[in-house]
Structure 1
C-alpha cells in the first residue's frame, strides 16, 4: 500500500503543474489542497517512520491545509518550491550527517565502495544539492513574477529535462571515473 501511495504522490508531483494550469478554471484551490493533503496524509500513515519522512509529510500537510484554508489560487504555485526544498534538505543534510544520498544509492549495488568512489558520491550529492537550490529559487521567482504559462512550462517540463540532463552528465562522468580505477 505504501508503494502505491508513493506512486500516487510521484504522479501527482509530475502532473501537478499541468493540473494547476488546466484545472484552475474547474476546481477551487481548496480542492487541490484536499486531494494533495489526502495523499500526503496517507503517506504519513503508511510510509517510513524515520524523522525525515515524517517531517516532510507534516510540512506538506501543513501546506495543503493552508491551501485549503485560504483557498487562494496563488498558493497553488508554491508546491514545486516546497518539493525542491524537501529535496535540497534531503541531499544537503545528508552531506552534514552522512552518508551522502549518492553514496547510499551507490552502496545498493556496490556495498564496498573504494575511497575514491566515496569522494565522488559526495561531489555528486553536492551537485544535486546545488541543482535543487537553483531549481527551487527559479520556481519561486516564476511563482512571484511570471505568468502561469511560464510557471507551468518550467515546472512541468523544463525542470524535468534539466534533471534528466544532470542524470545523463553524471552517468557519463561516472563511466569515466570507473574507467580510471
Structure 2
C-alpha cells in the first residue's frame, strides 16, 4: 500500500515537473480564457491546485532558483485566495508583476553575492570560468535586472489599465517574445566574444 502510494506521488511529481513550466507560461492565457468563460468558481480551484503542485514538486539546480520557484508558487496561492475572498478578479492579474519582482530580487541580490546568478548558471557547464567570463556574467545579470524591472513596470501598467485583452497580449505573448529576444541577443554576443 505504501509502495503504491509512493509510486503514485512519484508519478505525480514527474508529471508536475513537466507540466508546471507550461502552466506558468500559459497563466495569462488561462486567466484570460478562464475569466471570460468560467469565472473564478472554476478557475480559482484549478489555479490553486497548480500552484500547490508547483510548491510541492519544484526542484531547482541552484538554491536561488529553488527559492524563486517556491516563492512564486506561494505568491500565486495568495493572489488566487485573495481574489476569491475579496471577490475581486483583478487580483489574478498581478501574478506576472510578482514574477518579475521576484526575478528582479533574485538576480539583483546575486550581484552582492560572491557569484552572480548568471555566473553560477554558467559554472554548471563551465566550472573553470575565466575572469573575463566572470565579468561578462556579471554584466548579463545586470542586463536581466534592467529587463525584469522594465517588464514588471509594463505588466503593472497592463493591470492598472484594466484592459484584459491588452493584459493577456502583453503578459502572455509580447513579454515572452522579449525574453526570447534578449536570450537570443545574449547568445549571439557570447558566441562572438568567445571567438
Same fold (TM over 0.5): yes
In structure 2, the gaps of 5 or more residues are 1-11
In the TM superposition, residue 21 of structure 1 has moved relative to its aligned partner by: 2.2
* Structure 1 position 12 matched with structure 2 position 23: yes
Q: Secondary structure at the match of 1:67?
A: helix
Q: Secondary structure at the match of 2:37?
A: coil
| Equivalent-residue separation in structure 2 for 1:2 and 1:129 (angstroms) | 31
Higher relative CO (CA 8 A, sep ≥ 6), structure 1 or 2? 1
* Structure 1 position 155 matched with structure 2 position 178: no
| TM score, norm. by length of structure 1 | 0.87
Q: Give the match for residue 54 of structure 2.
A: 43
| Contact in 2 for aligned 1:29/1:68 (Cα 8 Å) | yes
Q: CA RMSD in A?
A: 2.1
The count of residues paired between Structure 1 and Structure 2 equals: 179
Where in structure 2 are the equivalents of 1:127-142 lying within 5 Å? 127-142=143-158
Q: What are the Cα deviations for residues 115-163 of structure 1, in whole angstroms up to 9, with x where unaligned?
A: 1100100110111111111111100011101521111111111111111
Q: What are the Cα deviations for residues 11-61 of structure 1, in whole angstroms up to 9, with x where unaligned?
A: 122222222222213222254332222222222223349572444433332
Q: Secondary structure at the match of 2:129?
A: coil
